[in-house]
Amino acid sequence: EQQVITILVKGSRSAAMEEVVRALQENGTC
């Protein structure tokens, strides 16, 4: 169970980072 939770946490973190990077890129291009 702990492994699944860690995987979900890592997935959510990576997804959040991707969103942040995309937002930064959009702001940078503008």
Q: Which two tokens stand for residue 6?
A: 């860690």
What is the pTM assigned to this prediction? Answer: 0.53
- Successive 10-residue mean pLDDT values, the chain, 30 residues: 87 91 85
pLDDT for the residue numbered 30: 60
pLDDT at residue 20, as a whole number: 92
Q: Measured at the alpha carbon of residue 22, what is the angle toward residues 16 and 25, in degrees to the nearest 5?
A: 145
* pLDDT at 7 (0 to 100): 86
Neighbours of 8 (CB within 10 A): 10
The pair of structure tokens assigned to 5 is 């939770």
d(CA 16, CA 22): 10
